[in-house]
Structure 1
Amino acid sequence: MSSSETSASAFSSSDTAALERQTETEQPVTFEQIWNERHQRKSVDWIRQNGYKRVCLQFPDDYLPHSNAISVALTELLSPEEVKVFILADTTYGSCCVDEIAAAHVDADSVIHFGNACRSRASRLPVLYLYPELPLDVDLLLEKLQSLRAESKERQVCVYLDIGYQLIHDDQLKKQLTEALEPKDLLLELFPPVEADSKASKEPSDLERICIFIGADNQRFANLSLTAPAAVQWHIYDGASGTLSSKNPLTAQFIRRRYFHIEKCKDAQTLGLIVATLSAEGYLDVVARLQAMAKGRGIKTQLISVGRINPAKLANFLEIDCFVLIGCPFNNMYDSKEYYKPIVSVFEAEMALNPAWHMRYPEAYVTDFKQLLPEGRSFLPFDATDIPEHDVSLVSGRLRGAVNESLEAAGDHASLALATQAKMALMTTNTGLSFEDRTWQGLDPALGQTEPAQLQQGLSGIPINYTHQ
């Protein structure tokens, strides 16, 4: 491959990229697990009771082989005259979010969402969530949990049921778990919680609690384990393999890398705010808050909406030093190792830009950006006057903040890098290419330098035979 081909491939997707993209696969499901009699009855009753006429079925990538059969079956249950059914496959942002944008293209009045769901409140269309029904050997589960009895005694135990196991959520299972673990208190919760119980769900109060997640080591577990307050230990019971394992997500290398990216966000001169949702409630308020905090620090912002992000798309924004991903709770813990510039979550940007978070180590991560707004439980007010005047980057040694602005105003750019490395070499900061530095800035409009063209009668008809020919 030549150097020119290598350069081109770094900034654009190949012809087969869409076909080779890794799907958001989870535990393999069968047709009966995602569309049985219970699913059928729930869907038909929901459509008829509300009088919906144009229904979109939204599927994740690994459900697509069953999508046509489900669409045909639902149409036969309701009759084509009663309702028209559409299939949504390639979602705009992520399969866990309700794709109201794609549904609007067919003028849909409702959406039935299959599979993994973040349950972000949709703002435009009513939604029915249908989860798979995965088998679980309860006797084997209780047998495996016997090994946790010693550490569970006299402690609070929280058991979370992942998507696919929510049908077994009942008092009988809670009683069996209590007898197996003998805890001081036991909470049996659904995750994500159903909408009716999301606000009424009881918050765990004992920080010395044991947490058990019944499901796979997936993005939902990462979201739950990072957002829950500090616990003694997290345990994962994989229902597919029948294995029990332990994990402490707060000690993962991933978290240490995130704090490095927070420092990079502080160093940024231009932030790119990536809007990865148009349905989650409160996203416009978060955009306005981030813009206000960045302005208070003298940081420029650009608002970006490019659908599902990839390295090739974001590589086009050369002047941006750091990106902030404004998305659903399951999509904002982004691993940006393959990207040219770091990508941080809204919470990480909040820690970087809001001086109220200075020297404050959070008990848990915040993945739902609504919790950072004034009515959220993690809200801290922003006051630009609290920004320290003498703030030095821990990454580059460069002065930033109020001192940065005063030196730039005086034209003293050389003083911006004051700290020295161990070998007494002056540290520099790569700010990227600004628009003025680019070799090509687009077509030159030459405004005011050319004579205006005269208006002429245009062509009409079809190209093979225009009306005036």
Structure 2
Amino acid sequence: MSSSETSASAFSSSDTAALERQTETEHPVTFEQIWNENHRKKSVDWIRENSYKRVCLQFPDDYLPHSNAISVALKELLSPEEVKVFILADTTYGSCCVDEIAAAHVDADSVIHFGNACRSRASRLPVLYLYPELPLDVGLLLEKLQSLREESKERQVCVYLDIGYQHIHDEQLKKRLTEAMEPKNLLLELFPPIEPDSTASKEPSDLERICIFIGADNQRFANLSLTALAAVQWHIYDGASGSLSSKNPLTAQFIRRRYFHIEKCKDAQTLGLIVATLSAEGYLDVVARLQTMAKGRGIKTQLISVGRINPAKLANFLEIDCFVLIGCPFNNMYDSKEYYKPIVSVFEAEMALNPAWHMRYPEAYVTDFNQLLPEGRSFLPFNAADIPENDVSLVSGRLRGAVNDSLETAGDPASLALATQAKMALMTTDTGLSFEDRTWQGLDPALGQTEPAQLQQGLSGIPINYTHQ
């Protein structure tokens, strides 16, 4: 690859990126599983009851081979004068989010979203979510869960159904699960829930908790296991393979890594706020809140929107010390090992910047940034006056942020001694490279500073043999 091709790839994705992108589901789905009689009836009734005229069908990558057939089938059920149907494919951020921006390009008045969905509150268009209906051997499931009967006794058991198995949710299934495991109390719930924060398992209980996820070891399980209240043990029943396994996501290594990133966020002199959603309600409020908290600590912020992030894109922002990803609940945590600078979630940035979280251990992880806003369950007010005066970095051992100005002006010998103890030097207040200091600044039009060029005849013909050379 030439140097020009290398530099170009750092600023944009390749032409085949959408084709080579790894799909987001664990098991391939068939046409009948994503478009059966239940899906057809639900779609037609929803469109007609609300008198929608321009409907967008949004598909994840692995549903695209079936997208045209579904579109044709829906048009056959609805007359052309009744409704127009459009297909949305390559989404800007993640297929779990409703792409209201793309839908606006065709002046759509509604969206039918297929497959994995974060169910973030859409702010512009009404949305109908259609999940696949995967087969499940309930008899085998009950047989496997009987092995958990001993550890389930005198405990609360929470059983979550992944999107592919939500069609089997009923009271009869709950009764059979209770008979198989004999717990003190059993909760059968959907994930993601129909309504945000509607799950009963988020209510505190005096009983120890066992959690079972009927699905696969996927992003939805990671999100659920991090945000749910503490459980003694997590189990995953893979409906495709019929296997039952145990997994605890909150390991000591995971916690240490996330808290290390929180410390790096505190150490940052410039934060990059990456907007990875334009449809989730409240994202602008979160941006404003992060900017206010960063300003209170003397940290600069830059607002960034680059679509789906990758290491090459973020490497262009040399002056940024840490990135904050503002995304939906399923798209706001990244393992930033491949990135040059750490990436933290909104919740981790909140823990780093808001002094109200100091020495406070959360009951559960927060992936929905709306819960950190004033009406959210995990909201803690920010007060810049509560920021500690002697805040020492646990990574570098230096004093942080706004305290440097008071040290330089007051010249307190005791404080200076504390500051120089780690590396024999005070932390500077330099906020990183400015745009003017970059070695590459792009094209300079120099308007009004150069003579206008003379008009000349351009080349014509084909590149291998122009008509005049």
Contact 2:270 2:432 in 1 (8 A): no
Contact 2:158 2:201 in 1 (8 A): no
Contact 2:270 2:301 in 1 (8 A): yes
Could you say if the C-alpha distance between residues 147 and 451 of structure 1 is closer, same or farther in structure 2, counting changes exceeding 3 Å? same
User: How far apart, CA to CA, are the structure 1 residues paired with 2:428 and 2:144?
Assistant: 55
| Residue in structure 2 matched with residue 237 of structure 1 by the alignment | 237
Post-superposition shift, 1:4?
7.5
Contact 1:238 1:244 in 2 (8 A): yes
User: How far apart, CA to CA, are the structure 1 residues paired with 2:408 and 2:461?
Assistant: 60
User: How far apart, CA to CA, are the structure 2 residues paired with 1:381 and 1:448?
Assistant: 51
Post-superposition shift, 1:160?
0.6
Post-superposition shift, 1:418?
6.9
Contact 2:300 2:431 in 1 (8 A): no
Could you say if the C-alpha distance between residues 47 and 391 of structure 1 is closer, same or farther in structure 2, counting changes exceeding 3 Å? same
Could you say if the C-alpha distance between residues 278 and 11 of structure 1 is closer, same or farther in structure 2, counting changes exceeding 3 Å? closer
Partner-residue secondary structure (3-state), 2:316? coil
Contact 1:417 1:427 in 2 (8 A): no
Contact 2:10 2:313 in 1 (8 A): no
1:101-120 CA-partner distances (Å, limit 9, x unpaired): 00000000100000001111
Post-superposition shift, 1:254?
3.6
Contact 2:189 2:199 in 1 (8 A): no
Could you say if the C-alpha distance between residues 459 and 249 of structure 1 is closer, same or farther in structure 2, counting changes exceeding 3 Å? closer
Could you say if the C-alpha distance between residues 408 and 33 of structure 1 is closer, same or farther in structure 2, counting changes exceeding 3 Å? farther
Could you say if the C-alpha distance between residues 449 and 77 of structure 1 is closer, same or farther in structure 2, counting changes exceeding 3 Å? closer
Post-superposition shift, 1:206?
3.8
Gaps of 5+ in 2: none
Could you say if the C-alpha distance between residues 61 and 414 of structure 1 is closer, same or farther in structure 2, counting changes exceeding 3 Å? farther
1:168-187 CA-partner distances (Å, limit 9, x unpaired): 11110010011111111111
Could you say if the C-alpha distance between residues 64 and 418 of structure 1 is closer, same or farther in structure 2, counting changes exceeding 3 Å? farther
Partner-residue secondary structure (3-state), 1:337? helix
User: How far apart, CA to CA, are the structure 2 residues paired with 1:315 and 1:411?
Assistant: 38
User: How far apart, CA to CA, are the structure 1 residues paired with 2:196 and 2:11?
Assistant: 45
Could you say if the C-alpha distance between residues 11 and 190 of structure 1 is closer, same or farther in structure 2, counting changes exceeding 3 Å? same
| Residue in structure 1 matched with residue 204 of structure 2 by the alignment | 204
Post-superposition shift, 1:198?
2.8
Q: Any residues of structure 2 matched to 1:410-449 within 5 Å, and which?
A: 433-443=433-443
1:229-265 CA-partner distances (Å, limit 9, x unpaired): 1110111111011011111111063443221111111
Contact 1:398 1:429 in 2 (8 A): no
Could you say if the C-alpha distance between residues 423 and 197 of structure 1 is closer, same or farther in structure 2, counting changes exceeding 3 Å? closer
User: How far apart, CA to CA, are the structure 1 residues paired with 2:138 and 2:311?
Assistant: 43
Post-superposition shift, 1:200?
7.5
Contact 1:407 1:416 in 2 (8 A): yes
Gaps of 5+ in 1: none
Contact 1:270 1:320 in 2 (8 A): yes
Partner-residue secondary structure (3-state), 1:48? helix
Could you say if the C-alpha distance between residues 317 and 407 of structure 1 is closer, same or farther in structure 2, counting changes exceeding 3 Å? farther
The more displaced of 434-443 and 317-326 is 434-443
Q: How many residues align?
A: 469
User: How far apart, CA to CA, are the structure 2 residues paired with 1:363 and 1:123?
Assistant: 29
Post-superposition shift, 1:55?
0.4
1:332-363 CA-partner distances (Å, limit 9, x unpaired): 12222222211110000000001111122222
| Residue in structure 1 matched with residue 104 of structure 2 by the alignment | 104
Post-superposition shift, 1:167?
1.2
User: How far apart, CA to CA, are the structure 2 residues paired with 1:123 and 1:31?
Assistant: 30
User: How far apart, CA to CA, are the structure 1 residues paired with 2:253 and 2:350?
Assistant: 21
User: How far apart, CA to CA, are the structure 1 residues paired with 2:412 and 2:319?
Assistant: 22
User: How far apart, CA to CA, are the structure 1 residues paired with 2:85 and 2:179?
Assistant: 47
Could you say if the C-alpha distance between residues 23 and 429 of structure 1 is closer, same or farther in structure 2, counting changes exceeding 3 Å? farther
Post-superposition shift, 1:40?
0.5
The more displaced of 58-67 and 355-364 is 355-364
Post-superposition shift, 1:433?
3.4
TM-score with structure 1 setting the length: 0.89
Partner-residue secondary structure (3-state), 1:302? strand
Contact 1:417 1:426 in 2 (8 A): no
| Residue in structure 2 matched with residue 192 of structure 1 by the alignment | 192
| Residue in structure 2 matched with residue 94 of structure 1 by the alignment | 94
Contact 2:404 2:427 in 1 (8 A): no
User: How far apart, CA to CA, are the structure 1 residues paired with 2:57 and 2:373?
Assistant: 32
Superposition RMSD in Å: 4.7
User: How far apart, CA to CA, are the structure 2 residues paired with 1:411 and 1:308?
Assistant: 47
User: How far apart, CA to CA, are the structure 2 residues paired with 1:248 and 1:466?
Assistant: 67
Could you say if the C-alpha distance between residues 354 and 95 of structure 1 is closer, same or farther in structure 2, counting changes exceeding 3 Å? same
Partner-residue secondary structure (3-state), 2:18? helix
Partner-residue secondary structure (3-state), 1:375? coil
TM-score with structure 2 setting the length: 0.89
Post-superposition shift, 1:275?
1.3
The more displaced of 108-117 and 337-346 is 337-346
Post-superposition shift, 1:22?
1.7
Post-superposition shift, 1:321?
1.0
The more displaced of 15-24 and 87-96 is 15-24
Could you say if the C-alpha distance between residues 197 and 338 of structure 1 is closer, same or farther in structure 2, counting changes exceeding 3 Å? closer
Contact 2:18 2:90 in 1 (8 A): no
Contact 1:392 1:400 in 2 (8 A): yes
The more displaced of 394-403 and 98-107 is 394-403
Contact 2:404 2:428 in 1 (8 A): no
